[in-house]
Amino acid sequence: MNVRHWSRNEGLIFFTGVALLYVYPFILANYVYIDDWFRSIAGDANWNSEGRFLMTAFYKALSLTGRAPDMFPLPLILAVVVMAFALSSLQRHYFAVTDFFNAIVVLPLFFNPFFLSDLNYQYDGPLMALGVVAMVFFITFDTQRRWVQWSVPMLLIGAALAIYQPLLNIGFGLCCIELYRKLIDPEKCSGLAAFVVKKWVQFGVAFFFYMVAVSQFMAADRRGTLALNSTLYARLL
């Protein structure tokens, strides 16, 4: 079957359209979680105690105030447009030529049932999407300048941590896909060890500076770690 290949703009239009269509029911429903209700009433724009200071900065910048008024669905629409750029970038990263069929390959990063509950949060949902975007560009970012190639991905990891710490799982998952792609490609397999070292260093440095920067502001329950002999760990086993 002959399939016409997309230009960069066509791919971006496709991802923007389907992403907006995906979140349109959330906008119509306008469902407010209790967390959102309290924040909209109080205008509370403080996530610093959770180590998520970019959440605080985003809403203060968007509202041009020190508070976080209810601006739904504007943050979600902005996040969806940025997500379209990320999905388009990931598609071009994976495939030399782009079309509808390989676009479907990258869509589950945003179109998946595990992300639905996050998107339902009117305050947290849009920033969660931007955190996923940061992890995508962490993988797809490429430049000839070595110091930029090292520093920008570390900043993107730090940004994801400052939005929601478990977003690192997405970064690890995308790195695993990169490892598989290198293993099955003889031309890229020679750089496998360098890739692993590079990504571990970037994760480690970004996490170190993040903890140094925000640990003093985080609440005690956020700084703690789960003991191996805890009840929760026993249940997981």
CA distance 170 to 147: 24
Each residue's pLDDT tens digit, 30-51: 888 888 888 888 777 788 888 8
Cα–Cα distance for residue pair 128/35, rounded to 1 Å? 15
- What pLDDT is attached to residue 227? 60
Q: What whole-number percentage of the chain has pLDDT above 70?
A: 90
159 vs 100, 104, 115, 133, CA distance in Å? 31, 27, 19, 10
Global model pTM greater than 0.75: yes
Q: Which of 12-21, 173-182, 227-236 has the lowest mean pLDDT?
A: 227-236
End-to-end Cα distance, the chain: 49
Q: How confident is the model at residue 229 (pLDDT cuts 50, 70, 90)?
A: low
Supply angle C-alpha 196, 223, 32, rounded to 5: 95
Distance separating alpha carbons of residues 237 and 232, to the nearest angstrom: 9
Q: What are the tens digits of pLDDT across the range 139-183?
A: 999 988 988 999 999 999 999 999 999 999 999 999 999 999 988
The answer, yes or no, to whether the previous bond of 73 is cis (omega within 30 of 0) is: yes
